[in-house]
Amino acid sequence: MELANVLLEKDGKIAILTVNRPKALNALNADTLLDIEKAVDAVAADPEVSVLVITGAGKAFVAGADIAFMQPLSAMEGREFGMLGQRVFRKIELLEKPSIAAVNGFALGGGCELAMACDFRIASDAAKFGQPEVGLGITPGYGGTQRLPRLVGEGMAKELCFTADIIDANEALRIGLVNHVVAADELMDFVKKVANKIASKGQVAVRLTKAAINEGLQTDIDRGMTIEAEAFGLCFATADQKEGMAAFLEKRKPEFTGK
By CB under 6 A, name the binding residues for ligand CAA. 24-25, 27, 63-68, 85, 106, 108-110, 113, 132-133, 136, 140-142, 144
Q: Is the C-alpha dihedral spanning 42, 48, 51, 57 positive or negative?
A: negative
| Cβ nearer to ligand CAA, comparing 70 with 212 | 70
State the nearest-atom distance from the C-beta of 146 to ligand CAA, in Å.
12
| Cβ nearer to ligand CAA, comparing 130 with 244 | 130
Is the separation of the CB atoms in 32 and 21 below 8 Å? yes
Which of 213, 196, 195, 216 minimizes the C-alpha distance to 205? 213
Which of 67, 70, 68, 90 minimizes the C-alpha distance to 78? 70
State the nearest-atom distance from the C-beta of 123 to ligand CAA, in Å.
15
Is the separation of the CB atoms in 83 and 47 below 8 Å? no
Q: Which residues contact 127 (CB under 8 A, 6 or more apart)?
A: 61, 103, 104, 105, 106, 107, 168, 169, 172, 178, 181
Confirm whether 243 is a catalytic residue: no
| Cβ nearer to ligand CAA, comparing 169 with 205 | 169
| Cβ nearer to ligand CAA, comparing 4 with 246 | 4
State the nearest-atom distance from the C-beta of 3 to ligand CAA, in Å.
19
Helix (H/G/I), strand (E/B), else coil: 89: helix
Catalytic residue among 80, 113, 154, 171: 113
| Cβ nearer to ligand CAA, comparing 102 with 205 | 102
State the nearest-atom distance from the C-beta of 26 to ligand CAA, in Å.
8
Confirm whether 159 is a catalytic residue: no
Rounded-to-integer distance, Cα 35 and Cα 19, Å: 9
State the angle between helix axes of 75-94 and 110-117 in degrees (0 to 180), rounded to the nearest 10.
30
| Cβ nearer to ligand CAA, comparing 27 with 204 | 27
Q: How many residues does the chain have?
A: 259
Rounded-to-integer distance, Cα 246 and Cα 259, Å: 15
Rounded-to-integer distance, Cα 108 and Cα 8, Å: 22
Catalytic residue among 48, 133, 243, 250: 133
State the nearest-atom distance from the C-beta of 161 to ligand CAA, in Å.
10
CA distances to 48, 52, 111, 151 from 181, in Å: 29, 19, 17, 17
State the nearest-atom distance from the C-beta of 175 to ligand CAA, in Å.
19
Q: Looking at the annotation, which residues are catalytic?
A: 113, 133
